Amino acid sequence: MNSQEKLPYYQIPEPSTEYTAGTSTSRMVDGLGFRYYWATEGLSELDLAFKPNAEARTTEETIDHIYHLSIRILNATLIKVNGSKEPSMTFAEKRKKTLENLLQASTILRESKDVSKYKIIFPEKEFSFWCVINGPIADAIWHVGQLVSFRRSSGNPFPKGVSVLTGTKQD
C-alpha cells in the first residue's frame, strides 16, 4: 500500500446499516471525500496552476476553497465557531487535511442521533444544519466537479478505474 492509499477515502467506507439523518448526511460527506480524493490524486504543478479563463480560480485556488469548506463542515459537527486563521500549507498538506476533516465530520454525523444540533457558527450569526447541507457540503461537491473538469482541460484526466457509483478503485 503506497502512502496515498493511507489517506482517507481511497475507497468509500462501508455504509451504515441504518438510514437516519446522521447516517445519510455522513454518506454524502463520504461521497464528497471519495470524489475529492480522486479529483486531486496525481495533480501536477501544471494542473494546480490551470484556470479556464482570466476570471476563474486556478485549480489550487479551488482546492483552497474546498479545504475551507471542509473546515466549515467539520466545525459544524464540532459545534465550533468559524473564523480562525489557517496556517499556510502545501498542496499535499491541504489535500490530506481536507480528507481528514471530511472523515472526522462524517464519523460524527454517522454516530449522531440529532443532526439539528449542528450549525454553522460565525461570531455574529448562526445557520441551521440545513445550511450545512445546502451550503458547504453541496458547494464542495460542486467544486470537486470543477477540479475534474480543470484536470481534463490541463491534460490530466480523471484516473481510470474509479467508480463514483460504488466508491471503489479498480486497478
Locate all alpha helices (DSSP H) within 41-90, ordered by sequence: 45-49, 59-78
Q: Give every CB contact of residue 115 below 8 A, 6+ residues apart in sequence.
A: 21, 22, 25, 109, 129
Show the cell assigned to 142.
Answer: 460542486
Q: pTM for this one? A: 0.95
Q: What is the pLDDT at residue 1?
A: 41
User: Which CATH class name applies to 23-164?
Assistant: mainly alpha
Q: What is the pLDDT at residue 171?
A: 81
Q: Let me know if 80 is exposed, middle or buried by CB neighbors in 10 A (0-12, 13-18, 19+).
A: middle
Tens digit of pLDDT per residue, the chain (171 long)?
454 558 999 999 999 999 999 999 999 999 999 999 999 999 999 999 999 999 999 999 999 999 999 999 999 999 999 998 888 999 999 999 999 999 999 999 999 999 999 999 999 999 999 999 999 999 999 999 999 999 999 999 999 999 999 999 998
* Domain locations in the chain as residue ranges: 23-164
Q: What is the pLDDT at residue 4?
A: 54
